[in-house]
Structure 1
Amino acid sequence: MRNALCDTLISLYKQNRFLFMTGDLGFMALEPLRAIMGGDFVNAGVAEQNMVSAAAGVAHTGLQTWVYSIAPFAYARPFEQIRNDVCLHDLDVKIVGNGGGYAYGYMGATHHAIEDYGVMAALQNMICHIPAFAGDVLPIARRMQQTPGPAYLRLGRHEMPVEAVLPDYAPWRELLSGESGNIVVVGPVVGQVYQAVQSVMAKKGGSFGLWVLTELPVPEIPQGLRESIVQHPEKPLIIVEEHVAHGGVGMAICHLLAKLGASPRNFRHLHAAGYLKGSGYGTQQFHRKQSGIDAESVELLLGGLV
């Protein structure tokens, strides 16, 4: 998705000027953007707190500013500056974090971002975007550019099978329809879940409604999904996200359902488990497997529900 972001920002910059700041990252990917932007592309160095405060100052003058780093350095290291300088003043700063979830694998917990959008969505005025597919980056970046105020963009890898037919972008999209239950997935891990659903359908004949969510906070549940949950509480409802449970979409969905008086009798929340004692670090897929959010684990769960 990082290359898709570069191409997108080049297109957007040609239409409307903005400032882009990087925390000394983006090499072998952002050079075309730097060439187009010239002096509007700034390498702030390994100084993320200063970078965010400077971005807030520039935005205060009226120039939209984008800041970029890997996800934990984009949201966690400068958290105080994001909260106090950007969000409380409702400034037009766009924060881009590359490699959400367990994407940086062997680099370990310091380079993972499994609490990011929960933390960011809690901040005043902040909107979070978690593109699921490379094709989401352009419409999301356009929405971010056209919507004044703070925003966070969590980038990952495009993992969807090439044969999948994707609907036009929207914060909520139904990828598959089905009668065996409903699944809500956040971001790129939907590729794992899609494989699992297709495999279960081929082996056992069950079908699941598969929804992908890419924007937070969650103001409401779309009508089709809401009606299915309310009218058929016996159907399983499964939330899958590469994020810890606390502050995640699972909790947000439960809150919305409680307000509706809805109570699905078979609710499952599959989420990042953090780090199991003594297990060490591994690839993104290794940590997904430990958390039960890889294709094989999800298929095993769904197979038992059909």
Structure 2
Amino acid sequence: MRMQLCDSLLARSSNPEMVFLTGDLGFMALEPIQAAMGGRFINAGIAEQNMVSVAAGLAKQNFEVWVYSIAPFIYARPFEQIRNDIAFHNLPVKLIGNGGGYGYGVMGPTHHAIDDYGSLLTLPNMSVYVPVFDEDVGAVIERAGGSSRPAYIRMGRGEHPKGYNVPLYAPWRQLTHGKGAVVIAVGPLAGTYIDAFLHIPIESRPNLWAVSELPIDLTPPPDSLLNQINASSVLCVAEEHVRHGGFGSDLLLYLAGLGVSPQTFVHLYARAHNFGRYGSQRFMRLQSKLDVDSMLSALNRSVHG
């Protein structure tokens, strides 16, 4: 999604009040932004805490501020500065983290961002955007840029099947239609299940939904999804995030407030930071049972017992 990000930010860069900061990352992708913005493109170096505090100061002076790094370096390393300098003052700084989830899988647990949006959503005023497809990035940048709230944008890699007609961006989208279980996946992970679900007969095909914006109370699920949850015997949530503080628990709390109680709840999530072996994002998802076969097995067990 980095090229789409570059194009989207480049389209905004004529605004003289826009400033872009990077933590010495983004090479071979963001050079067009640097060329267009000149001195408003700031390489803050490997000093993320300082970079976030500088971003907060610029936002306080009414600049439009975007901050970029790989995901673990944009939320974990400067968490105190995000909390104290951005969130507590409700400053509209936009934090862009590339490689969310197990995106940097082979580099090990220091580079895994599987507790990112859960951690940041504990802070006041924070919004989170998780684009599902490459085609979503432009809409996400526009929506985040037009918001007065601080935001975290979790970037990944669009993974829809070849030939799939990507629906227009929305915080909630139904990607497959059937008469089976309801499955909700966060961000790009949703795209990995589309092809397998489309090969299931419609009588048992899951209704697959993708969610791209959090927290839920800012962009509530549509009535059509709530009706499906009420009518289905199984609700499954899949997220490349640890269980505690993730979307699954937040969704259940939200549904409980509406008096909606799924008959059977299945949760697929990032199982651990530390594994004996590390590999690609696909390999790491397999270790956490977030892969397609694990999803199909979990649904089969929940439906047939």
The two structures have a TM-score, normalised by structure 2, of: 0.95
User: How does 1:209-224 map onto structure 2 within 5 Å?
Assistant: 209-219=207-217, 220-224=220-224
Q: Deviations over 1:213-260 (max 9, x none)?
A: 000101132101112222x2x521000110011111101110011112
1:256 aligns with 254
2:188 aligns with 188
Is the Cα–Cα contact under 8 Å of residues 3 and 29 in structure 2 kept in the other structure? Answer: yes
1:154 aligns with 154
2:263 corresponds to 1:282: no
What is the alpha-carbon distance in structure 2 between the residues aligned to residue 16 and residue 41 of structure 1?
A: 11
Is the Cα–Cα contact under 8 Å of residues 266 and 298 in structure 2 kept in the other structure? Answer: no
1:36 aligns with 36
What is the alpha-carbon distance in structure 1 between the residues aligned to residue 222 and residue 233 of structure 2?
A: 17
What is the alpha-carbon distance in structure 2 between the residues aligned to residue 166 and residue 94 of structure 1?
A: 25
Q: Deviations over 1:112-155 (max 9, x none)?
A: 10000011111101100000001111001001111122110000
Q: 1:166 to 1:93 in 2, by over 3 A?
A: same
Is the Cα–Cα contact under 8 Å of residues 270 and 293 in structure 1 kept in the other structure? Answer: yes
Is the Cα–Cα contact under 8 Å of residues 181 and 204 in structure 2 kept in the other structure? Answer: no
Q: 1:147 to 1:180 in 2, by over 3 A?
A: same
Unaligned runs of 5+ in 2: none
Q: CA offset at residue 166 of structure 1?
A: 2.3
Q: 1:180 to 1:284 in 2, by over 3 A?
A: same
Identity of aligned residues (%): 48
Is the Cα–Cα contact under 8 Å of residues 240 and 270 in structure 1 kept in the other structure? Answer: yes
2:97 aligns with 97
What is the alpha-carbon distance in structure 1 between the residues aligned to residue 229 and residue 300 of structure 2?
A: 20
Q: Secondary structure at the match of 1:21?
A: strand
Q: Secondary structure at the match of 1:110?
A: helix
Q: CA offset at residue 276 of structure 1?
A: 5.7
What is the alpha-carbon distance in structure 2 between the residues aligned to residue 199 and residue 287 of structure 1?
A: 25
> 4+ runs of 1 displaced by more than 2 Å?
14-17, 198-202, 299-306
Q: CA offset at residue 201 of structure 1?
A: 3.5
1:271 aligns with 269
2:289 corresponds to 1:295: no
Q: 1:85 to 1:17 in 2, by over 3 A?
A: same
Number of equivalences:
301
User: Which of 69-78 and 254-263 deviates more?
Assistant: 254-263
Q: CA offset at residue 55 of structure 1?
A: 0.5
What is the alpha-carbon distance in structure 1 between the residues aligned to residue 199 and residue 16 of structure 2?
A: 45
When the two chains are superposed, the root-mean-square deviation of aligned CA atoms in Å is: 1.5
User: How does 1:33-182 map onto structure 2 within 5 Å?
Assistant: 33-182=33-182
The two structures have a TM-score, normalised by structure 1, of: 0.94
Q: CA offset at residue 168 of structure 1?
A: 1.3
Unaligned runs of 5+ in 1: none
Q: Deviations over 1:254-305 (max 9, x none)?
A: 001111222212110101001465x222211111011111122212333443
Q: Secondary structure at the match of 1:51?
A: helix
Is the Cα–Cα contact under 8 Å of residues 237 and 267 in structure 2 kept in the other structure? Answer: yes
Q: CA offset at residue 16 of structure 1?
A: 6.1
Q: Secondary structure at the match of 1:77?
A: coil
Q: Deviations over 1:136-185 (max 9, x none)?
A: 11001001111122110000011011222222111011112211111101
Give the alignment partner of residue 207 of structure 1, picking from 201, 205, 208: 205
